[in-house]
Structure 1
Amino acid sequence: MLEQKLEYIFNKFDHESEFDSYQELASGHINDTYLIKTKEKPFFVLQRINHGVFKDVPGLIENKVAISRHIEEKLKDLPEKKRKRRVLTFAKTNTGESYYKDEEGNYWNIMYFIDDSVTFEIVRDQKIAYEGGRLMGKFLTLTNDFNASKLTEVIPKFHDMSFRYAQFEDALKVASKERLNNAKEQIKLVENLKKEMHIIQRLKESGAIKTRVTHNDTKISNILFSSKNKGLCVIDTDTVMPGIVHYDFGDAIRTICNTAAEDETNLDLVEFNVDFYKAYTKGFLKKMKPFLSPIELEYLPLGAKTMIFIMGLRFLTDYLNGDIYYKTKYPEHNFDRAKNQFKLIESFSEKVSTLKKIK
């Protein structure tokens, strides 16, 4: 019985609490996550990390525990109750480990649940966009002096453009004639943008852009807000690893500034929302700007374009491969997703002169 299993695993951790009940949290797509309700607060979040997706789960867990401890130290002047609402806090096992490995080889870790908080799946106003930017900028500011080389690269080459292009070129060799024909316009676009889409990677490889701690999954649902819509805490730090600021900024912009759903088929509805970009950027730079070099700041808009592109490229690659990676609801689903992202790039490009002035 699942409840008995969860109680058994919960009791492997040092928390001085008594298990009462559980509730499955279905916001993630990879890991199994449960809210553990106890006889008395605090409640906890118990998580099973998918070791089929993540090859080095101990490294992943040590990453996020180390980052949380680093942020906690930065916030040590705050009262404990307030501090625990600003950063994820992890409990150790009864034997002092950061995770528990069960008899089936599954890895579990546990966090203190942050009460009276809300999340948003989409951004509906500029205030939420601003607060999202402010919190992510603060996260990167607080971790700016953490030695990123000490982190495990939990998803190797995740945002490596050369790697993604190589995957795309391999897909071209195995794609059906029908899909190649359907996607010929998008394939041409990918080829035309190849040089521009490698600019940021080349700057990273040359050392012109600093390698730092990055979150790598900066959608708005990974930020907790108070009941008054003030940003509280960055969550879901499973993908924390070495990266560059353009990854986190760009991926947030990609998900926040699309006026339509990621798989919207009516491309007339897909536009780049300049107001949300402006609000997010203002919040992001409020604390982060002094920590950015002039070249990092200059290339933030291209970072947004690059992250939109890389997602479109991945959708297109999967379509050409016969839909082997992403879950799809119908045969053209990945193709529709790719067209959606490329339309967003088109809209972005039309407005880029305005976006470059927002700093």
Structure 2
Amino acid sequence: MSLKKLKSIYTQFDKTNELISYKVLSSGHINDTYLIENNKNTKYVLQQINHGVFKDVPGLISNKVKISKHLQNKLNHLSEKELKRKVLCFVPTIKQKYYHLDAHGNYWNMMIYINDCITYETVPSEQVAYEGGKLIGEFLNLTGDFDANKLIEVIPKFHDMSYRFSQFQDSLKIASKERLEKAERYINLVWNLKDEMHIIQNLKESGAIKIRVTHNDTKISNVLFDTNNKGLCVIDTDTIMPGVVHYDFGDSIRTICNTAAEDEKDLNKVTFNMNYYKAYEKGFLEKVNLELSPVAIKYLPLGAKTMIFIMALRFLTDFLNDDIYYKTTYPDHNLDRSKNQFKLIESFTEQYPEMETK
């Protein structure tokens, strides 16, 4: 993306000041995101939403803005400066919309950049795991009274296990012989885990666990920390929609408790860190425990295993589909991501009895 192009987009949000510099923010598999600075030394995050993945981008942005305004109202005791660091603040266009549709059919939104913060791809300490648990727990606690029916389903059937298995089966029919051979071991693992991996969905469909506002992408890199490693702000809210708490708990655990990066090729480095699990769970339950039923709490560990599995399955399916969804940087990137998650499941399963204490 050229500076000239970004300047033209920026003027749709601000005609008074001039964009003078930018850099690409590489975090995330889906959208194109830029840190920009104007001539008043003010920084923003300017993002192009992938409308190939997200079919209703105006609805997606409406979800994000509704939840951000709800959080701002819940935290109105904070100063304006503090609030802008604790909650994503979206900037309207000069037409008073929260997105701009450019001449090429691309959707853009802009938010205030949060300075002096830290993100992690992997967790360095139990303190960070604990603070991450508190922040996600607080996010769910503060959105617990928001009517999830007011949100669109950004990606229909996003965590629907039956749907993900259907996608997987379709990919088996069209995958090349070479890719099927490379993935054979992991294809067999999928079938072995099928029944167990439907338990959370069955509980949701039966009404045994509550449908509510969920973030749906709570990997640790979507949590901002301040310079003292205190939880600051939950970011990347594109996938906010109705769901169950187990998805958010599980996806956090998936990234927080992996001792290696999500695409680490050396599987000997991939293990499940039980100390981080316990630290995260402690922080998480401090914030949401009163909202959760005994049934919901009982199945939190299975929620973690399920989310690790669903990411393994999605990476594997995309590999079999010739990498049409996630950004990749080399031919077997999605397969390596899937292998990584299956190795994490193996390590998780070995320690599972320690988690089933409630």
TM-score category of the 2 structures, normalised to the smaller one? over 0.9
3-state SS in 2 of match to 1:239: coil
Q: How far off is 1:18 after superposition?
A: 4.8
Q: Give the conservation status (yes or no) of the 8 Å contact 2:29–2:327.
A: no
User: 2:25–2:33: 8 Å Cα contact kept in structure 1?
Assistant: yes
Please, what TM-score do these two structures have when normalized by structure 2?
0.92
Q: 207-216 or 101-110: which moved more?
A: 101-110
1:139: Cα distance to partner? 0.7
2:316–2:335 CA contact under 8 A, matched in 1: yes
Count of residue correspondences: 358
Using the TM superposition, give the Cα deviation of residue 130 of structure 1 relative to its aligned residue in structure 2, in angstroms: 1.0
Find the residue that maps to 1:45 and give its secondary structure: strand
2-side partners of 1:280 and 1:170: how far apart? 36
Offset at residue 15 of structure 1 (A): 8.6
The aligned residue for residue 159 of structure 2 is 159
In structure 2, what is the Cα distance between the partners aligned to 1:170 and 1:291? 39
Q: 1:292 to 1:75 in 2, by over 3 A?
A: same
- The equivalent residue for 1:169 is 169
8 Å CA contact 2:30, 2:326 repeated in 1: no
Contact 1:14–1:91 under 8 Å retained in 2: no
Question: For 1:329 and 1:72, how far apart are their aligned partners in 2?
Answer: 38
Distance between the aligned counterparts of 2:111 and 2:136, measured in 1? 20
- d(CA) in 2 for partners of 1:323 and 1:18? 38
Query: Per-residue deviation at 1:267?
Result: 3.0
Residue aligning to 1:355: 355
Task: Quote the offset at 1:131 in angstroms.
Answer: 1.1
| Structure 2 Cα separation of the partners of residues 177 and 104 of structure 1 | 37
* Aligned-partner SS, 2:263: coil
1:34–1:47 Cα contact (<8 Å) kept: yes
**In structure 2, do the counterparts of structure 1 residues 5 and 290 end up closer, same or farther at CA, with 3 Å as the change threshold?**
same
* Cα distance per residue 1:72-116 (max 9 Å; x no partner): 000011111111111011121222211122222222211111121
- Distance (Å, rounded) in 2 between the aligned partners of 1:17 and 1:283: 42
1:42-95 Cα shifts (integer Å, max 9, x gaps):
422222212222111111111100000000000011111111111011121222
Question: Which residue in 1 is equivalent to 2:284?
Answer: 284
Comparing 295-304 with 284-293, greater Cα deviation is found at 284-293
**Counterparts of 1:83 and 1:328 in 2: how far apart (Å)?**
36
Structure 1: how far apart are the matches of 2:200 and 2:143?
A: 21
Please give the residue correspondences for 1:105-144 in structure 2 after superposition, counting only pairs within 5 Å: 105-144=105-144
Q: Percent identity?
A: 65
* Helix, strand or coil at the partner of 2:104: coil
Query: Hey, what's the Cα distance between the residues in 2 that align with 1:165 and 1:308?
Result: 15
Shift of 1:260: 2.5
- Code of the aligned partner of 2:23: Q
If the length of structure 1 is used for normalisation, what is the TM-score?
0.92
Equivalent residue, structure 1, for 2:13: 13
In structure 1, what is the Cα distance between the partners aligned to 2:146 and 2:193?
A: 34
Matched, 1:267 2:267: yes
Quote how far apart the aligned CAs of 1:224 are.
1.2
State the shift of 1:176 in Å: 4.7
The AA in structure 2 aligned to 1:113 is Y
Q: Label 1:23 to 1:322 Cα distance change in 2 as closer, same or farther (>3 A).
A: closer
In structure 2, relative to structure 1, the CA distance for the partners of 1:181 and 1:91 (3 Å cut) is closer
